[in-house]
Amino acid sequence: MSDASEQLGKHDPAQSEMMEEMCLLVDKEDNVIGTKSKLECHFAEGHRHRAFSVVIMNNNGEMLVQQRSKEKITFPGVWANACCSHPLNVSNENTSDSEGVINAARRKLEHELGILMSETENWDFNFLGRFEYQCRWDDDWIEKEIDHILFVKCDVETNINKNEIEEVKWIGEEELLEMMKREGKWSNEYIAPWFIMIWKHFLKEYYPNFSQIINSKKTEIIDCGQLYLDKEKPGSGLMEALKEHKSKVEEEIMFSLSKMEQKRLHGAMTHLFTGGGKRLRAILPRLVGEAIGSANDGHYTLGACIEIIHNFTLVHDDIIDQDPIRRGLDAVHVAYDDATAINAGDAMLAVGFEILAESSEISGDNLRYLVRAIGEMVRRVAEGQQEDIEFENRDLVSEEEYIAMIAGKTSAMFETCARTGAILSDASPEIVSNMAKWGLNLGLCFQLMDDLIDITGDTKTLGKPAGSDIIQGKRTLIAIHAMDSSMDIPNFKNVFGNGPCDEKDLEAAINDLRKSGSIEYAKKRAMYHHSIAHECLNYLENNSEVDVLRELTDFQLIRIS
């Protein structure tokens, strides 16, 4: 990493001078706790500070977007919303209310877009909410902000400051959607990650309906975690790691399953593996071993064992739930029959333990610990699955009971991947315990995101029927919160657990969940476990392999973007 003064010397003098401005440091609740220069807030690891983003829509429903100047020190040439900057430590901007942010916005709208303060003093700045994120531009520069979103509807002329802005455009809804998806003429442009979050969390649902947007104000600070620019694809280090290890672990899986010589049973056992997938669980023990600093080929065998056992649970789970699709394929019980699917699952469980015992890379002492940990995992998954089944026949299920259930049914597998990966690397008991905690919270975040995706996704993307949790009456955290809510949710109650329904009724039920705040509540709980997982990784020494685990932790958020 470069020295700050050395870096500033390479940049435009006007931009470098503004790095002396004093920004407002804030805590997680957005309380001002001090001040630091813009340079200190953005250089190296940076400091959390207050920011704002102004979104402008005209009376034709078009949005004003800007391309940041190529002279900008951070995120040059990136496309973003109309105006983004920071309140400063000056008398009319360092206030605790929204007026300070609005005053800062009026100052920067004049500075960047040439919209006079005499004009903006008559504007209605609608506060939509706040979100926290961090995003690195390169090794030297980072954004680390709690961003206040201000929404304005007006027709306005601009006179841009070329030192700040390359160009501006008014774009309609269709082009805006292309921009957010980086499609068409936007496919080769860089779109600011914070702009994508503004669209996703504050605008997408109701745009361009102005009144609905301003009435959907968010009171909680949304934690968006680590964001990435297109030039550094989300999870790029993780994707490279998965690509590197996937073929090795899949070779181990298919070789292991070849032990089954009975042709039809072998076909049923390998069926789900033909549907692709990133093999996160299979590779996770190896990634943990590399992050700790001691990985070997035994981690591939361990990962293959857990992945085979994971697929055994999926085969039986699909029979229990009578889900017809898994990973875009017919479920095993549909492609074959219930009896063969049950038999295939049983055989997969046996093969998983068999290959562990045969590995020359796994010592006798470690084998005992691994077998015990994986056996405990299978038991906890079964307990969680049974709780899930019984929840469907209960009128009341508490949030605590649901979290305990998914801690077994889903999170136990992530926890075991991380724990056993550390054990096989001969890590200290403290590191083994820390990695198990990371895996547990990673798994909880994963399942809560899965619940959200079931409701907000589509059948083609999911590889299983969209909204199946609602139709089957699953007591997810979303459903539990909705049923505990005092709000009237007739559409949800009409569909919940009552079997197949038409798309219109299902969409109405999902709208009830949005209005009740249940979807947002589940997102917040997912982010809580996401935060704990990141804290666990902070106990490890920084290296590129630990960064891969950080990307895996953030990948849970990418899944719902």
Q: Which fold has domain 4-232?
A: Nucleoside Triphosphate Pyrophosphohydrolase (3.90.79)
Contact 71, 108 (CB under 8 A): no
H/E run at residue 152: strand 142-153
Question: HSE on the CB side for 217, CA within 13 Å?
Answer: 11
Here the tokens at position 268 are 């049923």
The answer to whether domain 4-232 and domain 236-558 are alike in fold is no
Residues 6+ apart with CB under 8 A from 82: 54, 55, 56, 63, 64, 65, 66, 109, 113, 168
Which residues, listed in sequence order, are joined to residue 52 by a DSSP beta bridge?
85, 148
Residue 203 is encoded by which pair of tokens? Answer: 């605008």
Q: How many residues does the chain have?
A: 561
Radius of gyration of the chain (CA): 26
Kindly report the number of other CB atoms within 10 A of residue 238's CB atom: 24
447, exposed or middle or buried, with CB in 10 Å at 0-12, 13-18, 19+? buried
SS3 for 71? coil
pTM of the model: 0.61
Dist CA 163 CA 526 (whole Å): 41
Under a CB-based contact definition with an 8 Å cutoff, are residues 64 and 75 in contact?
no
How many angstroms separate the CA atoms of 385 and 398, rounded?
16
Is residue 388 within 8 Å of residue 324, measured between CB atoms? no
What does DSSP assign to residue 539?
T
- Could you list the pLDDT tens digit for every one of the 561 residues in the chain? 445 555 444 445 656 677 889 999 999 999 999 999 999 999 988 999 999 999 999 999 999 999 998 778 888 889 999 999 999 999 999 988 889 999 999 999 999 999 999 999 999 999 999 999 999 887 788 999 999 999 999 999 999 998 899 999 999 999 999 999 888 888 778 899 999 999 999 999 899 999 999 998 899 999 988 888 764 444 557 777 888 898 889 999 999 999 999 999 999 999 998 877 778 889 999 999 999 988 889 999 999 999 999 999 999 989 988 889 887 789 999 999 999 999 999 999 999 999 999 999 999 999 999 999 999 999 999 999 899 889 888 888 999 999 999 999 999 999 999 999 999 999 999 999 999 999 999 999 999 998 988 887 654 444 455 677 888 888 999 999 999 888 889 999 998 888 888 888 988 988 899 889 999 899 899 989 999 999 999 899 888 889 889 888 887 665 544
Q: Which residues contact 514 (CB under 8 A, 6 or more apart)?
A: 205, 520
What is the β-pairing status of strands 32-37 and 329-330?
Answer: unpaired
The number of angstroms, rounded, from the C-alpha of 360 to the middle of its chain's C-alpha atoms is 38
Q: Quick one: pLDDT at residue 158?
A: 95
- Output DSSP code: residue 141: B
Residue spans of the domains in the chain: they are 4-232, 236-558
- pLDDT tens-digit map of 455-473: 876 544 444 556 778 888 8
Q: What are phi and psi of 543, to 5 degrees?
A: -160, 170
Give yes or no for a contact between 374 and 306, defined as CB atoms under 8 angstroms apart.
yes
Chain segment 282-313, per-residue pLDDT in tens: 999 999 999 998 888 999 999 999 999 999 99
| 3-class secondary-structure state, position 43 | strand
Nearest to 238 by CA among 225, 228, 224, 248: 228
- Of 293, 299, 199, give the one whose Cα is nearest residue 249: 299
Instruction: Say if residue 121 is exposed, middle or buried (CB neighbours under 10 Å; 0-12, 13-18, 19+).
Output: exposed
236-558 classified as CATH 1.10.600.10: yes
Candidates 255, 388, 239; CA nearest to 313 is 388
**pLDDT by residue (tens digit) across 304-345?**
999 999 999 999 989 988 889 887 789 999 999 999 999 999
**217 Ramachandran zone, left/alpha/beta (phi>0; psi -120 to 50):** beta
**Dihedral over Cα of 29, 33, 37, 40: its sign:** negative
Q: For residue 145, report the phi and psi dihedrals to the nearest 5 degrees.
A: -135, 155
